[in-house]
Amino acid sequence: MHVKARVYLAEDEPLAREALVRMFEEAPGWELLGAAPNGRAALEACTAIPPDVLVTDIRMPMLDGLELAAAVRASSPRTQVVFVTAHDEHAVAAFRLAAVDYLLKPVTDAAFRACLARLHENLAATRAVAHLEEAGLSVDALVRARRTSHRHLVVRSLGRVDIVPLADVVALRAAGNYVEVLAKDRTYMHRETLKSLAERLDPARFVQVHRSTMVALAHVRAMKREPHGAQVIMDGGATFAVGSRFVRALEGALGV
């Protein structure tokens, strides 16, 4: 990045805080604004100078990381959040706050590098949206730009919430007021209509092939035309019927 991204750290454990400070100081393209030992001090600093990224532990005195992240995002919606903690039971709550990443202690160099890559990608998308807003472009344009930054699908079913990477989603099928989410490893039932979900997905990644089916273009292996219609063949051999009015759009998305 040509412009350094500004990061603020909130971590009550001195050794962990020092380790994170060192990691960001050694990472090119980052400006460390400060590091606080508690949530209240971090909130005061982030309110004075909103960072591009807030990296925070979850269990902290005075104000915990989840409360801190929510407060910072309320005043600075473009601030990206990364949680660093020794406890993994807060993962769902973290992703509900649109966390970019959730790192477990001790943070390895590999995990830190992967986190930076995700942050760079998200910050680029956020700056693109800011540019559109400053240019006064339409709400539709802003929505399309926002769609490209989504990386996870929060799947809500009865008594359970799962965080599913969009990269693992192969297809989506309507099932009344639910959507059947077919992922690489399992199938989820998500409490939402396909129409509503489709409005939040990036059309460059997911395309509708039938009134009740969407597929992930990254997992399409072939499109097969037949006398009475067409089929799309996915990774693993799954096939879905392609409605006649969706054939041309699918061909265009596949470049065939």
Domain segments of the chain as ranges: 5-135, 156-254
Q: What confidence score (pLDDT) does residue 1 get?
A: 42
Superfamily of domain 156-254: LytTr DNA-binding domain (2.40.50.1020)
Q: Rg of the chain over CA atoms, in angstroms? A: 21
The backbone region for 98, taken as left when phi is positive above 0, alpha when psi lies in -120 to 50, beta otherwise, is: left
Q: Which range, 14-18, 98-102, 130-134, is most confident?
A: 14-18
Q: Tell me the average pLDDT across 32-60.
A: 93
Instruction: Tell me how far apart the alpha carbons of residues 214 and 198 are, in angstroms, rounded to a whole number.
Output: 8
Mean residue pLDDT of the chain comes to 83
- pLDDT of 240 > 90? The answer is yes
* More confident position, 84 or 226: 84
Q: Which CATH number fits domain 5-135: 3.40.50.2300, 3.40.50.740, 3.40.50.450, 3.30.70.3420?
A: 3.40.50.2300
What are the tens digits of pLDDT across the range 120-170?
Answer: 888 876 665 565 455 554 444 444 544 555 677 778 777 677 778 888 999
Q: Out of 2-6, 51-55, 127-131, 153-157, pick the least confident.
A: 127-131
Higher per-residue confidence, 104 vs 21: 21
Beta-strand pair 53-56/30-36? unpaired
Average confidence (pLDDT) over 29-33: 95
Region of residue 136 (phi > 0: left; psi between -120 and 50: alpha; otherwise: beta): left
* C-alpha pair distances (Å), 24 with each of 21, 32, 58: 5, 7, 19
pLDDT tens column, 194-226 = 998 888 788 888 999 999 999 999 999 999 887
**What's the number of CA atoms in the CB half-sphere (13 Å) around residue 79?**
27
What tokens does 249 get? 């759009």
State the pLDDT at residue 165: 85
